[in-house]
Amino acid sequence: MFEDLSPAPPDAILGLTDAFQSDPHPEKINLGVGVFKDDAGQTPVLTSVKKAERILLERETSKSYLPISGSPQYAKGAQDLLFGKDHPFLAAGRVKTAQTPGGTGGLRVGADFLHLFYPRATVWVSSPTWANHKAIFTSAGFPVKEYPYYDAESRGLDFDGMSTALANIPAGDIVILHVCCHNPTGVDPTEAQWQKIADLAESAGWIPFFDFAYQGFGASVEADRRPLHLFAERELDFLVSSSCSKNFGLYNERTGAFTLVAQNAERADAAFSHVKKAIRSNYSNPPRHGGAIVETILADEALCAEWLGELDGMRKRIRFLRTELVRGLHQRGVDADFSYIEQQNGMFSFSGLNETQVKRLREEHSIYIVGGGRINVAGITSDALDRLCDAVASVL
């Protein structure tokens, strides 16, 4: 049965972790997968999460199934995070949310749902984008194309290229937009540029599907949601996949959400019934634990404040590491302007290292970063910083 099968290539991001684990170098450094580490190189369980788990241990009385769309309290919490508790259209019933296994699960649920109604649509992703976007939408049956995004020369946004492309995407096609902390570049549109993107969505009639995996890692939980408000103000229908992997540190609890926003409650309910069908034939109903942690934290004022403090701490640490990385490279006499590293948002820095340099980092220094030159800044420790800067300086 399997005799004609050749092996699939390793995953561009998670495959690196496998390679890292089998590397015997005593000082190997993994800056591939987007996981936050503290200065001891650990990915800690947040204190607020531990406290919520203690509460759950006491309170939980059953392991029975959740509904197909997950816990209603979690869905409410996810919506509050996306839009803010008092956003008028939450009360209007225009927003429906399903608890999903991670943000990846949210994207796949959205893709399956969309494929039911737009089987001939094309999905448009930024160039570059998260390595898994293409695979998720291809697996759901869509052709995937790219719109311009990153300008390698200015190391910023190619907004002219992006807006020209978005203006020409046909009505009914699907456009994936990163709400903040663009993965892999860390380059986000400004508020004025988001306004223009919303104009284009409105005039061209394509379907906006937001990937919101890093809320709170950009400027703050509130500021990072701003693009969603801009789209909501225009009464546009749109979709969001959000994740609690990074901001709650719940990576392996697979805690995410798929949210749809419709013109009115009736349409939202009708659309959501099809989302539930897509879920039922996929994983039936979601795992509960991660969502139960999140809803416990959000429902308790003190715990919520503690979580926000921990999230602030993670964001500040990443900012500090960006500055240290730039300082370390300058100290080694590298003659280049690295200020862009400090301007990018979120966990990742698009380093500008080319494929040969990425390969040399791995083969000569046992330092693992994603092809294309994406460095997970959030994974750097003080111990690793000097070795990293030496190695980057040497391959440059």
Q: Catalytic residue numbers?
A: 130, 211, 246
176 neighbors 126 (Cβ within 8 angstroms) = yes
**Is residue 368 at the binding interface for ligand LMR, with CB under 6 A as the rule?**
no
Question: Of the two residues 150 and 272, which places its CB atom closer to ligand LMR in the complex?
Answer: 150
Phi-psi region of 238 (alpha: psi -120 to 50; beta: other; left: phi over 0): beta
Of residues 71 through 110, those in contact with ligand LMR by CB under 6 A are none
Single-letter code of the amino acid located at 18:
D
The minimum distance between CB 33 and ligand LMR, in angstroms, equals 4
**Burial level of 66, CB count in 10 A (0-12/13-18/19+)?**
middle
Cα separation values, 149 from 137, 178, 185, Å: 19, 11, 9
Question: Of the two residues 224 and 306, which places its CB atom closer to ligand LMR in the complex?
Answer: 224
Q: How many residues bind ligand LMR (CB under 6 A)?
A: 6
Q: Which residues contact 344 (CB under 8 A, 6 or more apart)?
A: 185, 186, 187, 322, 350
**Is residue 130 at the binding interface for ligand LMR, with CB under 6 A as the rule?**
yes
The minimum distance between CB 361 and ligand LMR, in angstroms, equals 17
Of residues 313 through 342, those in contact with ligand LMR by CB under 6 A are none
Question: Of the two residues 33 and 46, which places its CB atom closer to ligand LMR in the complex?
Answer: 33
Q: Where are the beta strands (DSSP E) in 216-299?
A: 238-243, 255-261
Q: Which helix (H) or strand (E) holds 212?
A: strand 207-212
The minimum distance between CB 172 and ligand LMR, in angstroms, equals 28
Question: Of the two residues 96 and 101, which places its CB atom closer to ligand LMR in the complex?
Answer: 101
**Which ranges constitute the DSSP H helices of 156-264?**
159-167, 191-204, 221-224, 226-233
Q: Can you tell me the distance from the alpha carbon of 157 to that of 163, in angstroms, rounded to the nearest whole number?
A: 11
Q: Which two tokens stand for residue 112?
A: 């399956």
Per-residue contact track with ligand LMR, 21 to 40, x per CB under 6 A?
------------xx------
* Options 69, 79, 97, 183; binder of ligand LMR; rule CB under 6 A: 183
309-315: which pairs have CB atoms within 8 A and are 24 or more residues apart?
Answer: 310/46, 310/47, 310/48, 311/216, 311/221, 311/247, 312/220, 314/36, 314/217, 314/247, 314/378, 315/216, 315/217, 315/218, 315/220
The closest residue (CB) to ligand LMR is 34
Question: Of the two residues 34 and 373, which places its CB atom closer to ligand LMR in the complex?
Answer: 34
The minimum distance between CB 225 and ligand LMR, in angstroms, equals 19
Q: Can you tell me the distance from the alpha carbon of 75 to that of 109, in angstroms, rounded to the nearest whole number?
A: 15
332 neighbors 393 (Cβ within 8 angstroms) = yes
**Is residue 358 at the binding interface for ligand LMR, with CB under 6 A as the rule?**
no
Question: Of the two residues 183 and 296, which places its CB atom closer to ligand LMR in the complex?
Answer: 183
**Burial level of 314, CB count in 10 A (0-12/13-18/19+)?**
buried
Question: Of the two residues 32 and 227, which places its CB atom closer to ligand LMR in the complex?
Answer: 32
253 neighbors 105 (Cβ within 8 angstroms) = no
**Which ranges constitute the DSSP H helices of 60-147?**
72-83, 88-91, 102-117, 131-139
* Options 79, 99, 100, 132; binder of ligand LMR; rule CB under 6 A: 132
Question: Of the two residues 34 and 218, which places its CB atom closer to ligand LMR in the complex?
Answer: 34
3-class secondary-structure state, position 144: strand
Residues in the chain: 396
Q: Which residues bind ligand LMR (CB under 6 A)?
A: 13, 33-34, 130, 132, 183
